[in-house]
A and B are shown apart, each in its own frame.
Chain A
Amino acid sequence: MKITIDRAALLKPLAHVQSVVERRNTIPILANVLLRAADGRLGLNATDMDMDVVESVGCSVSEPGSVTVPAHTLYEIIRKLQDGSEIELAVVPDSGRMTIRAARSNFSLPTLAVEDFPSLTGDELPTNFVLSAADAKTLIDRTRFAISTEETRYYLNGIYLHETTENDMPVLRAVATDGHRLARVQMPLPDGAAGMPSVIVPRKAVNEIRKLIDETDGDVHIGLSENKLRFSFEDTVLTTKLIDGTFPDYERVIPQSNDKKLLVTCREFKQAVDRVATISTEKSRSVKMSMGDGTLTLSANSPDSGQATEELDVEYSAGAIEIGFNSRYLIDIADQIDDGNKAVFTMADAASPTIVTDEGDESALYVLMPMRV
């Protein structure tokens, strides 16, 4: 294999694929990126066995062929080379080495056998649909903050993506929860998604996909089976295994009969919570919300660091109650609501889950568990 390629053209796909590669690897081949040159294009492929990213880029191929080299090292080298430089990648026959040349820099990297490189890609997936980049972004951003990191309940370590109906309209819905809060967002079911399997997309894949979405304004293609999800746009394809587990019946925990409604301007609320939370203890981060006629008082009290209160004008008239929340969770949710919009809290009492929504956007809903304060 021998190719020449512009540094910037190589750096971008390399950045995508190398971020899939784990820093510590017990299986050497998984630390490598597979490079394949043919027909005027260079294909790059990296995997961690759960997820696989394939990308291709135009280049000038003088000898077609393929090779695997350490992904992070190659990325670091290309990153540090001068912008605008022309790079030559060449496999030295029978030496087990690949050389990298650019201007007066020379590198030589060890290679591993191409045949040993595992591949997740290939087979066609039964369900295929298209989302706009903006919709894909919404599905992820509105939910991923609530993904659990707890290993024991591994089935919560991702976003639950499934088809359902809302007011007899078919919708595509994404849900994530860590037990303390739950985030749910939905949009009209895209063409082709009807009959899709319900899947849990693992956190690492979600984060990689999210990074890729930032690079496109166009449409993204989703392919889906019971145990794989493929995400593709332009020259990039990410394939991930899905979490093999059953997502809990989340509908049961979304309260239906909460009747105490509070509306507060999101920006004011977020800033006030942030200020008051300065005092709450590291361990609990709790902030108390005390509702009265037309006012919301946020307060935090800690024997070690003092106390804080702040009063906000709100729309509320359902009688005085007090509920404690984890301030970080309040801010996470407020972050999802447009700053100028009003956040709507629908509450029952200090022990039951509270619903938070965006007054100007009905697609997303958040459920928050109170804390004992």
Chain B
Amino acid sequence: MTVLCRDCFCWHEEKAATHGAIGRCPSCGSPRLARHPELSTLSIGHIDCDAFYASVEKRDDPSLFDKPVIVGGGRRGVVSAACYVARIHGVRSAMPMFKALAACPHAVVIKPNMAKYAAVGAEIREMMREVTPLVEPLSIDEAFLDMSGTARLHGGPPAETLARLAKRIEDRIRVTVSIGLSYNKFLAKVSSDMDKPRGFHAIGKVDAAAFLAEQPVSIIWGVGKTLQRTLMADGIRRVADLQGHSERDLMRRYGAMGQRLYRFARGEDNRRVEASSPVKSVSNETTFDGDITTAEALRPYLWKLAEEVSGRLKRKGIAGSTVTLKLKTADFKLSTRQRGLQAPTQLADRIFRVANDILTHEADGRRFRLIGVGVSDLCGEALADPPDLAEPDLDRRRRVETAMDSVRAKLGDGAILKGRGLGAGRMKQSPSDKPPPDED
């Protein structure tokens, strides 16, 4: 068994007899050892920050150090991140806030400061790029790193480089990370979850199949609640149950997903770590403090979201020709409606008008808890918002918006507002291209 000390980075071989024992590093005495027979050859890493939003808040306010901290929206929102103290009380990310507070009434609740987390996330990403150019971010706080062929450059195998990186992040950013190491993306991501927080876990070719066999099928990327239910009905609960089926059999039953199930169940995943996956959509959504029914009451929120999405499109210099409106009802039914545009847009006014038109049809008396708007089918801004023969006012409206943008750039976002945004209250927004809630 090959062993790496995660504190002094020295390597040694452990005798088979001590397998599983909690040994200590022979050089520095640290118990933080990474062990795996293939430790010196595995090269696909997954780095995931521990309770990221909460960790950042704790870092910036030391008085929170030993307190349960929950980062999330108001009374109605969901938990975006819960620190490990809060987790002792049963708080989990994506849990509705009222449930979280019932479980842990003395928790300190902090409104998410996305700009801050994004900045810290970007710093960490920069540090990742120092060790390999092949960094594929999955969200604001996690990424795949393909470390193949970096051993000579860094003077040690990927495992060591990653362990050193984890320590550097901890020292410099003062946020802990967990590392998963394997021979493909799927297993690397699974590994990083095995030893949280501040963990290091490796899965190699020798133990992948046996390890997976014991896991529930939901561990496979792409198996959500619905598919899990289908699989359950077919008697498939653990990955081991999948391993018993032939590829043909699974594909016949589940189509293309069947092939993925077959391969992933065997620890096969040939997706490559792609350094840049282009943005496909820009969207934003908000959960209300209380359910809202009428289009009139939803409109101010929609306008603010449209402005926010438009702002991001403008900053990125892109535009899109599909507008999507997302609504979630009080009983958590999700509806998304799309509308194609005649020409790509990046204007808040245009995004709002199209989404508002859909909204008018959708607001049929149902109670909504969430509204979101997104723009997709993206292209460069050169083609955006051409003058329009059927809307001679469009150009004037574009100039108004550009003027408002420049006032805001100088004097701040609140310097000038449109009346249609009034009444939205203060919003907790979850912008995305596409960072989901910080799950760890």
Contact = CB atoms under 8 A, between A and B. Distances in A.
State which size class the interface on A falls in: 20 to 34
B interface secondary structure, majority:
mixed
Nearest to A178: B342
A248 to B, nearest CB: 5
A156 B382 contact: no
Size bracket of the B interface = 10 to 19
Contact of A156 (B339, B341, B357, B390): B390
Contact of B389 (A151, A253, A371): A253
B415 interface: no
A181 B387 CA distance: 11
A151 B386 contact: no
A349 B387 CA distance: 14
A283 interface: yes
Given A150-B340, A150-B342, A180-B342, A369 B353 contact: no
B390 A153 contact: yes
Nearest to A181: B389
Interface in B211-246: none
A367 B389 contact: yes
Interface string B379-399: 100110011111110000000
B354 A248 contact: no
Contacts of A252: 392
A177 B383 contact: no
Contacts of B386: 180, 369, 371-372
A148 B389 CA distance: 12
A44 to B, nearest CB: 34
Pick the most buried of B343, B382, B387, B390: most chain A CB atoms within 10 A of its CB: B390
B353 A371 contact: no
Contact of B383 (A178, A249, A284): A284
B390 A152 contact: no
A250 B389 CA distance: 7
Interface in B385-425: 386-392
Given A156-B390, A369-B389, A371-B383, 18 more contacts: A149-B340, A150-B340, A150-B342, A152-B354, A178-B342, A179-B342, A179-B390, A180-B386, A180-B388, A182-B389, A248-B391, A249-B392, A253-B390, A351-B387, A367-B389, A369-B386, A369-B387, A372-B383
Interface of B: 339-343, 353-354, 357, 379, 382-383, 386-392
Interface of A: 148-153, 156, 177-182, 248-250, 252-253, 283-284, 351, 353, 367, 369, 371-372
27 contacts: A148-B342, A148-B390, A151-B340, A151-B357, A152-B353, A152-B354, A152-B357, A153-B342, A153-B390, A153-B391, A156-B390, A178-B342, A179-B342, A179-B390, A182-B389, A248-B391, A249-B392, A253-B390, A283-B379, A353-B387, A367-B389, A369-B386, A369-B388, A369-B389, A371-B386, A372-B383, A372-B386
